[in-house]
Amino acid sequence: MPRALLLENIDPVAVELLASAGYEVESLRGALDESDLTAALHGVDVLGIRSKTQVTAEVLAARPELRAVGAFCIGTNQIDLTAATSAGVAVFNAPYSNTRSVVELAIAEIISLARRLNDRDRALHAGIWDKSATGSHEIRGRTLGIVGYGNIGSQLSVLAEALGMRVLFHDLEDKLALGNAEACGSLEELLERAETVTLHVDGRGGNAGLFGAEQFARMRPRSLFLNLSRGFVVDHEALRDHILSGHIAGAAIDVFPDEPKEQGDEFSSVLRGLPNVILTPHVGGSTQEAQYDIGRFVAGKLVDYTRSGTTTLSVNLPAVALHGSSAARFALLHRNVPGVLARADALVGEHSLNVDGQVLATRGELGYVVTDVNDALPPALLAALRAMPETLRLTALPERP
């Protein structure tokens, strides 16, 4: 029976789907560090993680039999994709499943900061009746600057405009503006024009330290600031200084450079206790609806891959989906050089088999072919395919109905 290890409190629907597909599933609430993960992967075929667990080259080397990693989140920067690809490990994620959840939190926090609801809430809980319009504003007519105009940034753009905001955005790539949103030629232009700035950038290394003292100083006086993207993007010491000086009127932060690994662990930050600052524990995509959709989507991709070799929407492998049914199927991940497919098919013929169906796709230096044949796969054929110098991984897939 194949084994799946799921970490970081992945939604139970993933456990159900994998179990129904014949997996023995172990699900843990917290993340694991490198040494603990290496030990836990003994006998594991499929690994599921979220954002905290780091799947390094060393982890992958310790479990060469690992077939796939599912990132039950948007980003995959916590996975060494180069090492995974070299090892023939397929990686899947959920790039769209929690977009709406993040956008709704951003809208809620923009309104809360503009109305200073956090401060009003604290005062009332402390027994202080502070009914005043001072510092409280509508968001209608205000200018929102979105840094990163991908799935989340563009959907936020539409909702913010529907609420009456003017929308500016900046992205490293040329993106089509939705509605009346306006692209800015530089980050500096956006910072100088927007009254509220929200970050929705990805986890690439080049974004580390993107926002620091220089960027906060460029923002308009009494602006609002949000980060629901990656913790390492923002210098929190610089943000604290600009909040205390009054230059930044409020901030909402959902991600942090160092985050606790498990529920209930102590959280420390220089932003704790600051006025009109909303701190949330990386819950941008943590709605029940989003976590269910992510669990269902990624688990489904893992099952499809291990059952039929389907790599549609894989982060690192060529996209292949071979439909139909035959007596047996094998999947060959190989170096993308001329002649591999011809030699593989010749080996099939040498073992008195016919090819019933076949799909090949390439991606850079990789080639991936899924082949249906008309009879059971002889061990000698599998050994010959594995022995080809270009083979990275060969998988004999189970019979299908």
Residues annotated as catalytic (active site), given as ranges:
230, 259, 282
Cβ(226)–Cβ(110) below 8 Å: yes
CA angle centred on 144, ends 138 and 146, rounded to 5°: 150
Element containing residue 275 per DSSP (H, E): none
Q: What's the CA gap between 269 and 280, in Å, rounded?
A: 12
Helical H segments across 71-212, by residue range: 81-86, 99-115, 117-125, 151-162, 187-193
Contacts of 290 (CB under 8 A, 6+ apart): 97, 98, 100, 101
User: Tokens at residue 343, please?
Assistant: 């030699």
Q: What's the CA gap between 163 and 252, in Å, rounded?
A: 19
Cβ(159)–Cβ(185) below 8 Å: no
Q: Minimal CA–CA distance to 251: which of 106, 122, 128, 103?
A: 106
Task: Kindly write down the DSSP assignment for every residue of 34-87, as one continuous string.
Answer: HHHHHHHTTT-SEEEE-SS--B-HHHHHH-TT--EEEESSS--TTB-HHHHHHT
| Maximum pairwise Cα distance, the chain | 86
